[in-house]
Structure 1
Amino acid sequence: MIITDTHTHLYSEAFDEDRGATIERAMDSGVRRFFVPAIDSTYTDRMLQLKNKYPEHIFLMMGLHPTHVKEDFKRELLHVEEMLEKHQFYAIGEIGIDLYWDKSFLKQQQEAFRFQIKLAKKNKLPIVIHCREAFDEIFEILEAEKGIGLRGIFHCFTGNLEQAQRAIGYNMKLGIGGVVTFKNGKIDKFLNEIALENIVLETDAPYLAPVPYRGQRNESAYIVNVLDKLAEVYAMEKIKIAEATTRNAKEVFGI
């Protein structure tokens, strides 16, 4: 059984003490592909080192995370452009809008999101969207950018059925992770109304660990718990869920 983790921050400082062991545990659990999103330029070297150490298993993205959009965001976007010219990346991500922590940079986040969507289209790459308390703002920009070239993943999807269907309408897969195992996560109540062809698995490690690890450091091996929950939701064998979601991930990232 081959499982794909479409969103894991393996370069995070949270793994500095046991990164190799963490990756081994994930691979022992069946994870063979790790898609690694960017945050900002301060993490680029860590990402490239990770790729160099595990070239057959690590697939990098490049982008500017919305919570790291500050006064210097245009310099950061220039870094994204420069890296795309120098290295191979499989998506522009994670990008989007986050209004949970700070609303003061909303205009800059919107500008950065639009710019990076256009960059993705130019480079024929998918986008990986970060959305927190910003569905309306995200959808407004996707509506303006919809059409040829727009595709990707709505990472850590936590919306309702209507929002899920709208995201899919913009050629997005839904990234499903630990939240689906939470009692108050809610998405498990309607997810079986979404065709499996629109779903990919993720962990967002080291964040959002699934039950029974909720509150602890998340890691890619715990994607098995997400897989177990989806097998329950869709009333399907785990291997079928793994096969379908891996196929979906390969379609999105073009590998």
Structure 2
Amino acid sequence: MIVPHYNDLNGLDACLNALMAQTYPRDRFEIIVGDNNSPVGLDAVCQLAGGRAKVIHAPIKGAGPARNAAVPHARGEILAFTDSDCIPESEWLSEGVKAMEHADFVGGAMTVLVPQDRAKNGAEGFEMVFAFDNRSYVEKQKFTVTANLLCKRDVFTHVGEFRTEVSEDKEWCLRAGDMGYKIGYAAKAVVGHPARADWEQLRKKWQRLNAEGFALFKQRGGKSLVWLLRTWALLPSIPLHSIKILTSPALNGLDEKLKACGMLIRCRLWRFVDGHRLLMQ
């Protein structure tokens, strides 16, 4: 199991606890943490990991390079990727490995984690409805998020490392598909990812996704007019997706739903402006 990490000891500790609680036989898996020059220092990360994981120094910035640095130290025939702020459920590895019998690489289900002791704010409500629809990503777009990706080692070797400055998960999976490898979906291999807690976190997420998505779009020969049409399609999506929020069983009460609608409007308008900025730069 490969876990990229950057300066989040609490998150990494919870992730490692979840990985140690896997039902898959403990003598048949190992955990490799690729630490991305955390300011707390490599010694602190190693001390926290203890005997649970091997920690590798990954000097090149980014989650993709951290994964790339960790892979050569893994000995298994299957590589299972998750993130240090994620909580894989106990059956994650067992179900993911089982799904590998029918595919060359697989993505599992994603859930959004929110605090249970209070009402959801706008950012959390928005994420509950729209974040991490990994089944759709796998079945319709033929990629999986790297927070929940398993692949055969020989496939990874053939496809190559994760690339930077693009949507690394989507780019790697599409590259694998172009080479003829088959992606599968593992509905019972579940990983939880925390919701973005506020607008600033959500904006930073979409700033990164927009920039990486645009770079991948251009890399794969996308036309400027198509990007422009996609950007303008964000505006009519607002009323359509407001209905989705208002009818979502994931949100409790009108207050949570209205706050999520407000965040939807703010996010789509910001993406609309940013989409034009990327096209003009």
Report if TM-score (shorter chain) is over 0.5: no
Larger gyration radius, structure 1 or structure 2: 2
TM-score normalised by length of structure 1: 0.28
TM-score normalised by length of structure 2: 0.26
Higher helix share: 2
